[in-house]
Structure 1
């Protein structure tokens, strides 16, 4: 899959693409990332890409013409308009967008990629959005200086789901929000030493994890996922319950632990 990124700061992506375990996906071109400097498509000596907003107000707005020329160049380079070409969505990172969540990431994992538009300043001229943007995505209910960080977050999530990227092929199956966990949060994890000398004294690893009894360990991990989700993200638990993904045993355990929202 291929992701083309329209940005004023392509240099921000260099360390992201060359470090960490996900670099395997980028170096192998399993996730082919191509950076497009928007100023290369601006005119004039100053390569200006922004101007003051009509109607007044603070800040600057990104002009539609450089964006459109860059967008056209990307589509031509991809052959997006040729017969039989895979659909290539254009994505803008915006507060108006759908929140990036696991199902969103999975949609991109099964496609041909996308054109990612990283806005800056007060935003983009609405005419470019209306004409060229297919999808708007948001990282959360807060404001960033640009779309580069959300773009990296999306690419990171997509890259780690590619075959061969993680050392253990089953690692992502235990991730929070993964369908393998019915969308619950992941359980707590422990490693050596078996007894840790913490600030409040000795803290041992839960005995069940040392038992070697796989059935009991699996049941404990399920219960801890339920506990974590109920305590920290009750909204997620409600969503899992609404989909019918909680078993009768899950519900009984939640009630017994006074973790069900109707009991607390």
Structure 2
């Protein structure tokens, strides 16, 4: 997968992509990540990328020209054009809430572009003309789109074959089959007077699987009644 990020703060993205699983996936050429500084594409002599909103109001709005020019360069580098442009995802509190199902859907794309907004947002004409999807990672407001972009890239990338060591690394995780994940234990068997459940060290894999499923059900029912309802409806 080819991932491009349009941002005013490229070092934030670069730092994250140079660590851990993301770094290894890039080194193995499973994914590529290119970062574009929107300010570099401003035609303003001072490289200005924001201006006051028409109609008044607090804050500033990102102007359309630098964003459009950045995206034009992104698709040129991909060997595409505006008629064959890839998905451009704008990170916004007004967007659809990102979840595991969207991560699965987007992990099948060959090219993805992420647009990180700042200030009060971006000029609506950019959204109307080149943005494919608007996504939010939750019902709260952040100072910019870099953190949500990294969250989405991480979540999407780990579903691509080869990024994790084995598909089992994500197939039993939370939100698969509308259940939250069961508890995990490792050595030592006793810690601060607390023991690992006997069933986990029994060697009986059938009983271990049953215990894990029951724990997943219990945790989901207690913490996420919305997911529990989906799971029960699916069982019918």
Q: TM-score, normalised by structure 1?
A: 0.85
CA contact (8 A) 1:98 1:136 kept: yes
Equivalenced residue count is 236
Please state whether the residue corresponding to 2:94 is helix, strand or coil.
strand
Q: Which has the larger radius of gyration?
A: 1
Aligned to 1:241: 232
Q: Which has the higher contact order (CA 8 A, sep 6+)?
A: 2
In 2, distance between residues paired with 1:191 and 1:8? 42
Aligned to 1:251: none
Unaligned residue ranges in structure 2 (runs of 5+): none
* Equivalence map 1:179-194=2 (5 Å): 182-194=177-189
Deviations 1:147-191 (Å, cap 9, x if unpaired)? 10011001111222222332344111111012xxx1200001111
Aligned to 1:134: 132
TM superposition shift of 1:25: 1.2
Aligned to 2:142: 144
Determine if the alignment matches structure 1 residue 58 to structure 2 residue 58. yes
CA contact (8 A) 2:30 2:163 kept: no
Please state whether the residue corresponding to 1:21 is helix, strand or coil.
helix
Unaligned residue ranges in structure 1 (runs of 5+): 247-264
Q: TM-score, normalised by structure 2?
A: 0.95
Please state whether the residue corresponding to 2:235 is helix, strand or coil.
coil
CA contact (8 A) 1:26 1:159 kept: no
Aligned to 1:214: 205
State the 4+ residue runs in structure 1 displaced beyond 4 angstroms.
none
Counterpart pick for 2:222 among 220, 231, 243: 231
Aligned to 2:151: 153
Cα distance change on mapping 1:15 and 1:238 into 2, 3 Å = same
Determine if the alignment matches structure 1 residue 19 to structure 2 residue 19. yes
Aligned to 1:252: none
